Amino acid sequence: MVTENIRQNTYFILFRIAAFLSVVILLFVLLYVIKEGIGVININFLTSMWSHRDITQGGIFPAIIGTILLAIGVSIISIPLGICTAIYLNEYAKENMFTRTIKLAIRNLAGVPSIVYGIFGMAFFVLFLNLGGSLIAASLTLGCMTLPWIITASEEALKSVPYSFREGSYALGATKWETVRKNVLPHSFSGMITGSILGVSRAMGETAPIIMVGATFFMGYLPTSPFDKFMALPYHLFILATQHSSPSAGEYAMGTALVLIALIFILNLGIFILRYNLRKRKEW
């Protein structure tokens, strides 16, 4: 009995240390970025155009806009497509070798490094489809990258709806579509949206693929059409941190990082609120 208690406590302490350590590491990263970057954050930094000559005079407004536009583009391309694909795979497709292979392929695609999507985007969207380095090419490239994440997350959300709901619905003479629409989608919607937006927010932070398909470090104007090049926060901060000669570049890179984190945080807060409101209705 005594040894059992000791063992019990040992494991408890072990897990507690692990949890504590994770939180501390993440908090440290966050606080470090805030401490280093907060100094450069001001209205001018957030709202004015980038000044190439003297970076202390300009701001990162075009990069913020570029990243937001990119996120919108990626969402439009990959969320509807991904959710519909998940519905098809989970609700309609027959379970056989073929669909199992497709599902496995999707899971594998979710793990392909983003740079691979970058080179694919460059070869296919930029050159072959002749879209050039542009917002649309970048949205399509990142859209391809997020698609498997969104499909996987949406499938999980659909799977979490108990089979008995579907069965009960069929037994009342509902068709497949009626069952899916009235008894599956309403209960999996919040999960699908959460997974999707999480995917998009990860795409917002991607640097490698967008360099190859249209992100640019310096642009004197905001993109006015999907075929324009664009500035983006992650690429901007990469250049500032590694290639810029200005003595204050490091500080500005940290400031940019802080803005990027804040943007993603706001997006996640949005999902959290949305999910909270949808969950209130969920009963099981």
The site for another protein, by CB under 8 A, has a size of 21
Q: Does an H or E element contain 3, and which? A: helix 2-37
What does residue 230 show for φ and ψ, rounded to 5 degrees? -150, 160
Q: Among 192, 197, 170, 190, which residue's Cα sits nearest to residue 182?
A: 170
Using CB under 8 A as the binding rule, the residues of this chain from 28 to 67 that contact another protein are none
Which residues in 88-127 contact another protein (CB under 8 A)?
A: 94-95
Q: Which is nearer to another protein, 4 or 95 (CB)?
A: 95
Which of 266, 263, 256 is closest to 40 using CA atoms?
256
Distance CA 165, CA 273 (A): 26
Among 172, 266, 269, 273, binds another protein (CB under 8 A): 172
Residues in 177-236 that interact with another protein by CB under 8 A: 178, 182-183, 187
Which residue's entry shows tokens 């300009």? 58
Residue 152 C-beta: closest distance to another protein, Å: 23
Binding positions for another protein, 145-164, rule CB under 8 A: 162, 164
Q: Which stretch binds another protein (CB under 8 A): 80-88, 117-125, 176-184, 252-260?
A: 176-184
Nearer CB in complex with another protein: 54/95: 95
> What is 205-240 written as a DSSP string?
T--HHHHHHTB-S--SS---STTS-B--HHHHHHHH
Point out which residues bind another protein (CB under 8 A): 94-95, 162, 164-165, 167-175, 178, 182-183, 187, 282-284
